[in-house]
Amino acid sequence: MKRFEMMIDGATVATEQTLKVINPATAEPFAECALGTPAHVDQAVRAAKAAFADWRESSDEDRRDMINRIADALEAHMPEFMELVTLETGKPQGGYKGVGAGMEVGGAVAWTRVTAQFDLPVEVIQDNEEARIEVHRKPLGVVGSITPWNWPLLISVWHVIPALRTGNTVVIKPSEYTPVSVLRFVELANEILPKGVLNVVTGAGDVGQAIAQHPDVAKIVFTGSSRTGKRIMENAAGTLKRLTLELGGNDAGIVLADVKPKEIAPALFSACFHNSGQTCAALKRLYVHESIYDDICNELAAIAKTVKVGHGLEQDVELGPLQNARQLDIVKELAEDARRSGGRFLTGGREMDRPGYFYEPTIVADLTNGSRLVDEEPFGPIVPVIKYQDEDEAIRLANDSPNGLGGSIWSSDRAKASELAKRLECGTVWINEHGAVQPDAPFGGIKNSGIGVEFGRYGLEEYTSIQTVKIPK
């Protein structure tokens, strides 16, 4: 069994105790990694703080060059990373409509390259005979990154690369469920970066808590559940850390009466079920006009019955397992509650009879708000389809949620859809698609779905403080 080690101050750090890493397609361990402690967090933060003094003074050109070299290294090791991602997450190599391990690793390369090109130039807000006033963006210091298990490599890149680009140093804690691709990423990056600039500590919740509470960590960036995000926010309050929190979503999609069900059903299914529904910005509540409700339900069910589910390393597999047993239990619990609430199961509704954490792709009709499957984020391959009568009702039902990450409007009238989109209470709205993020467009949530944004210039600014300089003439 291969072992992966932490990296602190440019050197590998082994521990006596280890963490077994489970392949969710077999429910058996395939690797092990070091089990870090709060003492390792302290060691990593000291290293990052020491490295910050020189890293913050490095030129934009040097930082851009090193980040591009990191992208080169990721690309050169793409097959290795794809296999690691499949083994630890369960997502197929290709995946449904191309959303799989290849997309995750390819996206990590692309995000790294694009982010390397961004700049935050000095802004001049006054320059006259009285004075010149400049606004500078300055790095914060040590950034603590805590990443989830659903897209471990890609989300690590989302956290780490903008932090490095803006002159910060980093201590990252990957999910204890999926540490290996992140450990390998940090190992490769440390062949390029100065020692101490990027450090990784693996472990359980005590490691994350130590990062959030550490007085020398200036900022926390976290992707995960709203419940954990609130706990991180509490732990960070003692030192008034900056926060970027991308938290749970229960994204709603509204399908208007003017669409052609057969034409849009494949895109709807992909938006709901890619990565077996384990994406923060997946479509998780589908509101369909009553005139086309049965047609949409039937089209989605027909697709679900043809999808190939299996081990992600097998050929042509489109959907993999849930990543862990706990998440499988959540999906099963919500499905049983949907049955008790009168949900009509068009497909699926059962754990699959095979090793691993597999659940059938499941479409549930005839529920509405107030049912747990509608109100709670399942984060799995199960989607409720809800009937509505008019657009005002659809908007009200979609907004009736404590979450506000993403949403979508599906219509043949793009102008009308764009107007309705402005009424949705969420950070991003898509028209005739759902969940498509890109490295130059800001992405983040409102309400219980988070604080701050990622990506592009807006995302870079989250890793800086403002300093205003006034120069009298």
Q: Are 422 and 403 in contact (CB under 8 A)?
A: no
Residues 6 or more apart whose Cβ sits within 8 Å of residue 96: 269, 270, 273, 274, 307, 318, 319
Q: Where exactly are the structural domains of the chain?
A: 2-247+449-472, 251-438
pLDDT of residue 313: 97
Candidate list 88, 104, 246, 462, residue with the active-site label: 246
Helix (H) or strand (E) holding 472: strand 464-472
**What would the pLDDT profile of 103-158 be if each residue is shown by its tens digit?**
999 999 999 999 999 999 999 999 999 999 999 999 999 999 999 999 999 999 99
pLDDT of residue 94: 96
**What would the pLDDT profile of 269-304 be if each residue is shown by its tens digit?**
999 999 999 999 999 999 999 999 999 999 999 999
Decide if 280 is catalytic.
Answer: yes
How far, rounded to the nearest angstrom, does the alpha carbon of residue 312 sit from its chain's CA centroid?
20
Q: Are 385 and 300 in contact (CB under 8 A)?
A: yes
| Dmax (CA) of the chain | 78
**What would the pLDDT profile of 366-393 be if each residue is shown by its tens digit?**
999 999 999 999 999 999 999 999 999 9
Report DSSP state, residue 168: -
**What would the pLDDT profile of 304-327 be if each residue is shown by its tens digit?**
999 999 999 999 999 999 999 999
**What would the pLDDT profile of 322-362 be if each residue is shown by its tens digit?**
999 999 999 999 999 999 999 999 999 999 999 999 999 99
Cα–Cα distance for residue pair 35/202, rounded to 1 Å? 6
Q: Which fold has domain 251-438?
A: Aldehyde Dehydrogenase; Chain A, domain 2 (3.40.309)
pLDDT of residue 1: 87
Judge residue 165's burial from the number of C-beta atoms within 10 Å of its C-beta, 0-12 exposed, 13-18 middle, 19 or more buried.
Answer: buried
Candidate list 280, 297, 391, 454, residue with the active-site label: 280
CATH label, 2-247+449-472, candidates 3.40.50.300, 3.40.50.720, 3.40.605.10, 3.30.479.30:
3.40.605.10
Cα–Cα distance for residue pair 17/329, rounded to 1 Å? 28
Average pLDDT over residues 196-220: 97
Residues 6 or more apart whose Cβ sits within 8 Å of residue 59: none
Q: Which two tokens stand for residue 306?
A: 């043809």
Report DSSP state, residue 137: E
Decide if 83 is catalytic.
Answer: no
Q: Which two tokens stand for residue 4?
A: 């992966």
Q: Is residue 394's pLDDT more than 90?
A: yes
What does pTM read for this prediction? 0.96
Q: Which two tokens stand for residue 113?
A: 């390259």
Mean of the per-residue pLDDT values for the chain? 97
